[in-house]
Chains A and B, each alone.
Chain A
Amino acid sequence: MTNSPSAPDDETHRRSSTVETKTEQRYLYCLVDTSATSETEVPAKGVDDVSVRLVSHREVGAVVQDCGHPLETERLDQLKQWAMSHQRVVDKAGETFGTPLPVRFNTVLEGGDGAVSDWLASRYSQIHGELATLAGTWEYRLHLLWNSTPFEEAVTEDDDELRRLIERKQQADSGTAFLLEKKYEKRLRSLLQERRDELRSKLWRTAESIAVEVAEQPATATLEQQPSPESDKPIGCLAVRVPADAESTLGQRLDEFVDETGAAVRFTGPWPPYTFVSDL
């Protein structure tokens, strides 16, 4: 075996590598359609700066590098570095061969190039079919953020039930006022929930008008460089698969959504369609 990644400075890793370097393994980055170009190489360095190669079977190729063991570490900085190397290779494969079929980070195939080729042959129809389905499309993540304060201020004035509860509370004794306050909070929570649901549905419809596929994702804070204002809370996230030439249309529709609703959308991409591939 050649070009095994050097072991990181990590005792656990050193122990496992001494046992496992005897086995020939391939770290798998992604799968590509090799018929779209005459290229036969991926001009990128992978994990631990090792060159990556293409192992092909008919029209599908696996972007791999030699390795002696799965990547294991308890160091977060090391893990981030590996993840970035992984993403860099997948990006380069996408630039060279078109939309790649991504695989899970740290996927290692047992055996050498022959084993990889056999694996491709055994799943050729599925891989070829998926690549054809995903060709020319990319994934974007739409993070929906909302500052509820202006809405709360507006409904406090406009909602009949909230207004009535405020009036009753002002005339009530302390114990009754306490219960009325609880009812007020419940009504407000319900109105906020309705509005959040409306915004999520509207974003879904906006995305659906352009995307080939849409999938709901857990609402989490974005990992972007530019932080959002403290008041903007994540209330939803969609993964959308969009044709490569539709990015500007998607941007325009999202601008319209933002203007109409007052919510904010941060979108990241293009990514390989991680959300939309089936397990191989």
Chain B
Amino acid sequence: MQLELGDETDLHGGLTALVITIVELLIEALEHEAVRRMESNDLSETEIERLGQRLNALEDELDRLKEQTEIDDEVTGLKQQLDHVVHGALDEVAHRHHSVQRADRSSSNDQ
């Protein structure tokens, strides 16, 4: 499991793409939480409207930044890589948990 930050000769571009990817993921998490609060009636209509406008502005700004730096494809690629990293980590944890359970069972059988 590893992330590739582009060509060795373009570390600046790779790092920029990584930072933007992380910010994008953060905004997505904020949007997810905002929708949850909107639907659970935790916020007034005014608060929902203001929150939506702020997040919309943030997303627009990030899109502009990606367009300026021409790293849209890199960000998409990094997000896919992160998906694989997360899935790989989850598989590993699940496998380890399974192995531990098996080890537990065999040690209890030994007793």
Contacts and interface: CB of A to CB of B under 8 A. Distances in A.
A176 interface: yes
A182 interface: yes
Contacts of A173: 49
Contacts of A151: none
Contacts of A178: 52-53, 55-56
Interface string A141-185: 000000000000000000000000000000001111111001100
B39 interface: yes
Chain A interface main SS type: helix
Contacts of A174: 49, 52-53, 56
Interface string B15-40: 00000000000000001101100110
A175 B51 contact: yes
Contact of B31 (A176, A177, A182): A182
B53 A183 contact: no
Chain B: interface size category: 10 to 19
Interface residues of A, number: 10
A175 B53 CA distance: 4
B39 A176 contact: no
* Residue from A173, A179, A182 whose CB has the most chain B CB atoms within 10 Å: A179
B48 interface: yes
Interface in A172-215: 173-179, 182-183, 186
Contacts of B34: 179, 182
Nearest to B60: A178
B52 A177 contact: yes
A213 B54 CA distance: 54
Contacts of B12: none
B49 A176 contact: yes
A174 B48 CA distance: 10
Interface of A: 173-179, 182-183, 186
Given A176-B38, A176-B45, A178-B52, 18 more contacts: A174-B53, A175-B49, A175-B50, A175-B52, A175-B53, A175-B54, A175-B56, A176-B48, A176-B52, A178-B56, A179-B35, A179-B51, A179-B52, A179-B55, A182-B32, A182-B34, A183-B35, A186-B35
13 contacts: A174-B49, A174-B52, A174-B53, A175-B50, A176-B48, A176-B52, A177-B52, A178-B55, A179-B34, A179-B38, A179-B55, A183-B35, A183-B39
